[in-house]
A and B are shown apart, each in its own frame.
Chain A
Amino acid sequence: MKPFEYEIENIKTLVNEMFDLVKDQVHLTKEALLTSDHDLSGEIMRKEKRVNAYELSVDREIEDFLALQAPVATDLRFAIAILKISASLERIGDHAYRISTLVFDEQLKVNKGIVELLQISTLFDEIDDMLINVSDALEKGEIELAKKVFKQDKTLDKINKKLPGLLDEHYKNKKNIDLHNIILISRVVGKLERVGDLIKNIAEEIIFYYESEVIRHRKKNLKISKKLGEATGEAESEKTGMEE
């Protein structure tokens, strides 16, 4: 093993640990939310400091790696991708933290009916699976696993999109509505949808690292062009099947 490969191994170790921590945070957040567990949400909030510290550790390691090893090609892409991946993981940790504060500070309660209506368990399970896919993709270089999350993210988007209609339907003609609680639940779903986007960003960075392909913003730019009636490079962007 060459000297700089030890540095890469160290950085990979840190990122793997950060993945495990964030997966755990998301998992616990589901439990805290579904059981309105005040203590557990407090524990998640405490562990958020560890997630933040991991991001700073990764930043430092990458700064040293860039300064000392002057990486090029794959190694340079690795450094750039890891910086962005750790920032995305930290943001996912933030969302888990914020959902926990809703339980901790605002005594958010979700009854079984709402959980089923808004498919909250499905949202969490999908996120769990997406996180496993991207962490495996990064560790093993299996791009197909990274690409899989683009489809999985659509499930989250669909549920989020349906939210106003579902709530409207559910509470129509009902009295004594706890509007405050409904708003908080909407926020939770919104945050989970955002977590899906962040995992998608991680997948894009993994593809950039392994295949040197930049797919960020591709589909969205295409949509904008279509709306504005501009010429598009549709054939090319259709190839990847990626979302914005």
Chain B
Amino acid sequence: MLNMETEEIIMENEVRLTKKTENLVTGNTGINTEYEIIARNLNVFYGEFQALKDVNMNILPYTVTAFIGPSGCGKSTFLRVFNRMNDYIDGFRIEGEVFVSGTEIYSNRIKLEELRRKVGMVFQKPNPFPKTIFENVAYGLRIQGVKDKHFILERVERSLKQVVLWDEVKDNLHKNALALSGGQQQRLCIARTLAVEPEVILMDEPTSALDPISTGKIEELIFELKNEYTIVIVTHNMQQAARISDHTAFFYLGELIEQGHTKDIYTNPKNKRTENYITGRFG
């Protein structure tokens, strides 16, 4: 046990370094501490099968939260709850409450298209439309009814710059998106999500189909994007979760076993099952 004064000095050092990193990354230190996503007493069923059991979670804005756990543990189901992607699965049933930006998203009043604009999603395999690069990014704006060409042009350029793809594609905006490499396609899909200005970005194993270089670029991108968006990511790569997330949640057999700061989860997990999973002793 350390004495109080020593603890205080260590804390001072930690707070100062955290602020320094924030300054380096964002140029400011202001953080809104209201929760972006709240799940309360959440139970999810597919027919008779219970996929999630009494899950409670609060997610802070402008953070990266990683869901880890073995296959079938419910992490992807939980991710898809936040933009109601599970609604289309036969036998899907949900109990409990889920709030995004303070709105209960399973209420009857919610408009799904509005929710999905606010909560964007990036999938495991890059899934650009068989259209031009430009049209892929402009797609969300067009279905929203935006007609202003100048506005669309500006938004497409900004989104492609945000994902650091602009310099690579600016001279080929009217080339078919399917001609891009896997890593470029995934960044294009993220740009497509950003173009409609979401608040939350859900990522379901966004790098599992990519090579290490492309994976590195996406990870860097996530690190930058968290200054403007709340990011929730499902990953099978535990080291990736460690590298890029601020908070980590470990799921097992539909239960949320442990959640907390990634540093704490990876250096001193409280639950034996979490420890066994992250050290590779099971799963």
Q: Which residues of A pack against B, CB within 8 Å?
A: 1-4, 6, 9-10, 13-14, 49-50, 52-54, 56-57, 60-61, 63-64, 67-70
Tell me, in angstroms, the Cα distance from A60 to B5 when the chains sit together: 17
Tell me, in angstroms, the Cα distance from A67 to B9 when the chains sit together: 23
| The 6 nearest A-B residue pairs measured at CB | A53-B9, A68-B242, A57-B13, A67-B266, A10-B17, A3-B223
Q: How far is the CB of B71 from chain A (nearest CB, A)?
A: 22
Additional 7 contacts, C-beta under 8 A, given A10-B17, A53-B6, A53-B10 = A49-B9, A50-B9, A52-B6, A53-B5, A54-B9, A54-B13, A56-B6
Q: A3-B223, A49-B6, A53-B6 are in contact. Are A68 and B17 (CB under 8 A)?
A: no
- Determine whether the beta carbon of B242 is less than 8 Å from that of A1: no
Q: How far is the CB of A45 from chain B (nearest CB, A)?
A: 13
| Neighbour of A67 across the interface among B13, B223, B242, B244, CB < 8 A | B242
Using Cβ atoms and an 8 Å threshold, which residues of chain A touch B32? none
Q: How far is the CB of A94 from chain B (nearest CB, A)?
A: 15
Q: How far is the CB of B240 from chain A (nearest CB, A)?
A: 10
- Determine whether the beta carbon of A68 is less than 8 Å from that of B9: no
Tell me, in angstroms, the Cα distance from A9 to B219 when the chains sit together: 19
| Residue of chain B at shortest CB distance from A10 | B17
Verify if B262 is at the interface (C-beta below 8 Å from A).
yes
- Determine whether the beta carbon of B262 is less than 8 Å from that of A68: yes
Q: Which residues of B pack against A, CB within 8 Å?
A: 2, 5-6, 9-10, 13-14, 17, 20-21, 24-25, 216, 219-220, 223, 239, 242-244, 262-263, 266-267
| Residue of chain B at shortest CB distance from A3 | B223
Q: How far is the CB of B220 from chain A (nearest CB, A)?
A: 6
- Determine whether the beta carbon of A68 is less than 8 Å from that of B220: no
B6, B216, B223 — which one has the most chain A CB atoms within 10 A of its CB?
A: B6
| Residue of chain A at shortest CB distance from B5 | A49
Using Cβ atoms and an 8 Å threshold, which residues of chain B touch A1? 24
Q: How far is the CB of B209 from chain A (nearest CB, A)?
A: 21
Tell me, in angstroms, the Cα distance from A57 to B8 when the chains sit together: 11
Tell me, in angstroms, the Cα distance from A50 to B3 when the chains sit together: 12
Q: How far is the CB of B169 from chain A (nearest CB, A)?
A: 23
Using Cβ atoms and an 8 Å threshold, which residues of chain A touch B6? 49, 52-53, 56
Tell me, in angstroms, the Cα distance from A3 to B263 when the chains sit together: 14
- Determine whether the beta carbon of A4 is less than 8 Å from that of B14: no
Q: How far is the CB of B228 from chain A (nearest CB, A)?
A: 16
Q: What does DSSP make chain A's interface, helix, strand, loop or mixed?
A: helix
- Determine whether the beta carbon of B243 is less than 8 Å from that of A67: no
Using Cβ atoms and an 8 Å threshold, which residues of chain A touch B263? 64, 67-68
| Neighbour of A56 across the interface among B10, B20, B262, CB < 8 A | B10
| Residue of chain A at shortest CB distance from B219 | A3
Using Cβ atoms and an 8 Å threshold, which residues of chain A touch B17? 10, 13-14, 61
Tell me, in angstroms, the Cα distance from A89 to B2 when the chains sit together: 19
| Residue of chain B at shortest CB distance from A69 | B243
Tell me, in angstroms, the Cα distance from A69 to B24 when the chains sit together: 19
Q: How far is the CB of B165 from chain A (nearest CB, A)?
A: 18
A-B contact pairs, 26 of them (CB 8 A): A3-B243, A6-B21, A6-B24, A6-B25, A9-B24, A10-B17, A10-B21, A13-B20, A49-B6, A49-B9, A50-B9, A53-B6, A53-B9, A54-B9, A57-B13, A57-B14, A61-B17, A63-B267, A64-B267, A67-B242, A68-B242, A68-B262, A68-B263, A68-B266, A70-B239, A70-B243
| Residue of chain B at shortest CB distance from A7 | B21
- Determine whether the beta carbon of B20 is less than 8 Å from that of A57: no
Q: How far is the CB of B167 from chain A (nearest CB, A)?
A: 18
Q: A68-B262, A68-B266, A70-B242 are in contact. Are A14 and B13 (CB under 8 A)?
A: yes
| Residue of chain A at shortest CB distance from B21 | A6
Tell me, in angstroms, the Cα distance from A3 to B216 when the chains sit together: 10
Tell me, in angstroms, the Cα distance from A90 to B136 when the chains sit together: 57
Tell me, in angstroms, the Cα distance from A3 to B14 when the chains sit together: 17
Using Cβ atoms and an 8 Å threshold, which residues of chain B touch A60? 10, 14
Tell me, in angstroms, the Cα distance from A67 to B220 when the chains sit together: 19
| Residue of chain B at shortest CB distance from A59 | B10
- Determine whether the beta carbon of A3 is less than 8 Å from that of B266: no
Using Cβ atoms and an 8 Å threshold, which residues of chain A touch B244? 3
Using Cβ atoms and an 8 Å threshold, which residues of chain B touch A61? 17
- Determine whether the beta carbon of B220 is less than 8 Å from that of A3: yes
Using Cβ atoms and an 8 Å threshold, which residues of chain B touch A69? 242-243
Using Cβ atoms and an 8 Å threshold, which residues of chain A touch B262? 68
Q: How far is the CB of A50 from chain B (nearest CB, A)?
A: 6
Using Cβ atoms and an 8 Å threshold, which residues of chain A touch B14? 57, 60
Q: A3-B220, A6-B21, A49-B5 are in contact. Are A68 and B243 (CB under 8 A)?
A: yes
Using Cβ atoms and an 8 Å threshold, which residues of chain A touch B266? 64, 67-68
